[in-house]
């Protein structure tokens, strides 16, 4: 732990191997599971956006709903509703007018036709309540921007917010999430299905509906990295507290490891958990280990997980010898026995998250 204090930077790299059975976790515009070419072969892919959305939904189990952000163009109605809750004597038309004024003072541009914002706005319930409160109390104009800027939602300080129309309300992201890809080649398959019309005549033996659903199955390599120092900047620049930064990191680690995008869940019930988690605290730079799978893992009759884990461990060892330093702290857990203990101290996921929280606590204290 002392070594963490001496480093100039602090990154937390999260590496996950996770197997999903036949599923369609993330679809493209044609309804097919997303794929990518890597190492010259087709891989299953789950976009970073899909998994970040799953993480944001998982956050709702950690934090008060008011402190978690959401995106919408229909912010005017939410602010107006909150104004009426705070001041019941204000009628609907007046509340809507006040809501528009509040949002414009905060720096958002509204569509003159329907009053919606021109772009999707990333905002929290707490920020909406603060805007409504400022409006009801007729506060000075400059306080509206402060309300939006000074108290960001937990997922805003992790994933950032970009508003081209008002850069002063932007937050730099402190987390990067890679597209998950399979460690091996995949080929999408088709499920041919029929649906019975329960009210059709007995002499009608045909199906009421015929269709196909595309799917695949894969062992995925997933990677994300947290820039702890970028995250800690919010302590001095906003009203985010050190405790909230610590909880944000712990929540992200758990959510990234345990969340699952909801695409076609009702059809495939692909609710799996990781086969391996490897977390590295680094003082030099973030390091993805996806190169371990540039040469696709081959099927040998024993599945892909163990071979994928061995490939990742071998690649990490070589990378630490030739290109980058060893992590300041390495923690991991695995369902297999493939040598992860050669590069990480093995613990269960709960203890890993707790220790990562201690690292961030130390780092936040050092940077203040």
Question: Would the pLDDT of 1 be above 50?
Answer: no
Q: Rounded to 5 degrees, what angle do the CA atoms 74, 79, 80 make?
A: 100
The CA distance from 213 to 196, in Å, is: 17
Confidence of residue 108 (pLDDT cuts 50, 70, 90): confident
> Domain segments of the chain: what residues?
2-60+182-367, 70-152
Q: What is the pTM of this model?
A: 0.89
- The closest of 72, 164, 74, 163 to 116, measured between CA atoms, is 74
User: pLDDT of 2-30, one tens digit each?
Assistant: 545 555 799 999 999 999 999 999 999 88
State the average pLDDT over residues 347-351.
97
The CA distance from 115 to 119, in Å, is: 12
State the average pLDDT over residues 207-218.
81
pLDDT at position 37: 97
Least confident range of 127-136, 194-203, 233-242, 290-299: 194-203
User: CB-based contacts of 223: which residues, under 8 Å, 6+ apart?
Assistant: 13, 14, 15, 16, 177, 178, 180, 288, 289, 290
194, two tokens: 């029929």
Return the higher-pLDDT residue of 135 and 66. Answer: 135
pLDDT at position 125: 87
- How many CB atoms sit inside 10 A of residue 239's CB? 12
State the average pLDDT over residues 139-165.
84
Specify the long-range contacts of residues 5-10, CB closer than 8 Å, at least 24 apart. Answer: 5/362, 5/363, 5/366, 6/283, 7/283, 7/284, 7/328, 8/283, 9/227, 9/229, 9/282, 9/283, 9/284, 9/285, 10/227, 10/228, 10/229, 10/281, 10/282, 10/283, 10/359, 10/363
State the average pLDDT over residues 55-78.
86
- How many CB atoms sit inside 10 A of residue 49's CB? 13
Question: Would the pLDDT of 282 be above 90?
Answer: yes
State the average pLDDT over residues 242-261.
94
pLDDT at position 206: 67
Q: Rounded to 5 degrees, what angle do the CA atoms 200, 205, 211 make?
A: 85
């Amino acid at each position: 732990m002392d070594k963490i204090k001496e480093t100039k930077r602090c990154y937390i790299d999260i590496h996950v191997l996770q197997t999903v059975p036949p599923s369609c976790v993330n679809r493209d515009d044609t309804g097919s599971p997303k794929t990518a070419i890597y190492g010259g072969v087709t891989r299953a892919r789950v976009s970073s956006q899909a998994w970040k959305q799953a993480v944001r939904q998982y956050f709702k189990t950690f934090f008060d709903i008011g402190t978690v952000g959401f995106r919408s163009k229909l912010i005017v109605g939410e602010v107006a509703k909150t104004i009426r809750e705070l001041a019941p004597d204000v009628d609907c038309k007046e509340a809507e007018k006040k809501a528009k004024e509040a949002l414009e003072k905060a720096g958002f541009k509204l569509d003159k036709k329907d009053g919606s914002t021109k772009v999707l706005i990333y905002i929290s319930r707490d920020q909406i309540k603060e805007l409504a409160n400022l409006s009801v109390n007729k506060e000075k104009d400059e306080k509206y921007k402060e309300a939006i800027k000074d108290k960001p939602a937990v997922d805003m300080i992790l994933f950032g917010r970009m508003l081209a129309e008002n850069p002063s309300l932007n937050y730099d992201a402190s987390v990067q999430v890679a597209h998950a890809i399979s460690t091996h080649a995949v080929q999408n398959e088709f499920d041919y299905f029929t649906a019975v019309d329960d009210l059709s005549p007995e002499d009608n033996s045909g199906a009421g509906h015929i269709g196909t659903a595309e799917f695949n199955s894969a062992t995925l390599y997933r990677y994300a990295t947290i820039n702890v120092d970028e995250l800690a900047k919010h302590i001095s620049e906003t009203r985010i507290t050190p405790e909230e930064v610590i909880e944000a990191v712990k929540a992200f680690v758990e959510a990234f490891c345990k969340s699952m995008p909801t695409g076609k869940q009702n059809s495939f019930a692909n609710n799996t958990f990781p086969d391996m988690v490897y977390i590295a605290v680094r003082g030099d730079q973030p390091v993805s280990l996806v190169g371990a799978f540039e040469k696709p893992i081959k099927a040998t009759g024993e599945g892909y997980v163990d071979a994928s884990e061995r490939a990742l461990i071998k690649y990490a060892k070589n990378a630490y010898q030739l290109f980058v330093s060893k992590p300041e702290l390495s923690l991991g857990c695995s369902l297999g026995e493939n040598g992860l203990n050669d590069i990480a101290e093995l613990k269960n996921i709960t203890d890993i998250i707790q220790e990562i929280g201690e690292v961030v606590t130390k780092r936040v204290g050092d940077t203040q």
